[in-house]
Amino acid sequence: MRLKKYQKNWKASIAFTITSAISEYMPFNMGIVELEEMALRCRINIIKMIHKSQSGHPGGSLSAIDMIVGLYGTVLNIDTSNPNWKDRDRFIMSKGHASPAIYSILNEFGIINEKDFMSFRTLGSICQGHVDMKWTDGVDFSAGSLGMGLSFGLGCSFAAKLDNSQRNIWVMVGDGETQEGQLWEAIMAADFHSSGNLKLIVDRNGIQNDDFVSKQMEVGNLSKKIESFGWEVTEIDGHNMEEICGAIKWANDGQERPMAIIANTIKGKGVSYMENNPSFHGKAPNDEEYHIAMEELS
């Protein structure tokens, strides 16, 4: 049962225990406080693994983690004891360099452990620099070049329909990725093919690899642009867990048209010197910076 693995990492509430006993595949339906506490633990582990490896991408991992925790902790239909269960919902992390966020959430649900994520970016580790479905249980997409995740997710949505499966396909992209033409081709195709099981989350933190998005190539009003391709779109504060849960439920319930959430976030959220700092897109904290981060997150 998935419940046993989950309880290794977190003391579940009585209500959660009762509902989980009903169905092995029921989403977790965690409360706001539980989700916020989980997000904090994930932030701590993100910093730990990147500091130990002295390599990785903290900024985009910290901006995305609240949305990821909200998704996994509420509606995402998975079986932690069988990560390859065919009818599981899929989560495609298109901005695959934010792998520490994925490894931290997989640890929370008992799919990987601390030893795994603390071997981040070492030779032979199951936790490589970019998420890779061949290496890591619970990962549904092998990432590398940006801009491909939504196309992959659209293919997964087609496969679900062919299988007569009720699984939903969730894709997270960065706002720098929205400069990629392939992403807009996928957005256009999704509505044409009535892919109501496809859900897009844009981590709109305003910074990409080289600098602020506004300086590199501003993409403008994403909500209006995506909406113009036939999608349902909502825009939220991507660090407000109540807004996150409401938007995720809204997207999960909508099945007539593809659904998109624009999550306005802060790059490096939770660590003062990383927040809105392009330098920490792909830079590990040194020892002094690490101790400051731990103090701020404790």
* C-alpha closest to that of 109 among 239, 241, 4, 240: 4
Measured CA to CA in angstroms, residue 39 lies from 108, 172, 206 at distances of: 10, 17, 21
CA pair distance 15, 13, nearest whole angstrom: 5
287: which residues sit within 8 A by CB, 6+ positions away? 51
Token digits of residue 65: 């983690």
CA pair distance 84, 28, nearest whole angstrom: 18
* C-alpha closest to that of 31 among 234, 244, 236, 235: 244
Token digits of residue 183: 């992403």
Contact (Cβ atoms closer than 8 angstroms) between residue 266 and residue 59: no
Contact (Cβ atoms closer than 8 angstroms) between residue 91 and residue 138: no
Give pLDDT < 70 ranges for the chain: 1-26
The pLDDT, as a whole number, for residue 26 is 54
Strands 169-174 and 90-93: parallel
Domain 2-6+25-297 maps to which CATH number in 3.40.980.10, 3.40.50.720, 3.40.50.970, 3.30.450.40?
3.40.50.970
The domain segmentation of the chain, as residue ranges, is 2-6+25-297
The pLDDT, as a whole number, for residue 28 is 83
CA pair distance 180, 175, nearest whole angstrom: 10
The pLDDT, as a whole number, for residue 27 is 74
193: which residues sit within 8 A by CB, 6+ positions away? 154, 157, 158
Contact (Cβ atoms closer than 8 angstroms) between residue 99 and residue 60: no
**How many C-beta atoms lie closer than 10 Å to residue 145's C-beta?**
11
For residue range 105-135, list pLDDT tens digits in order.
999 999 999 999 999 999 999 999 899 999 9
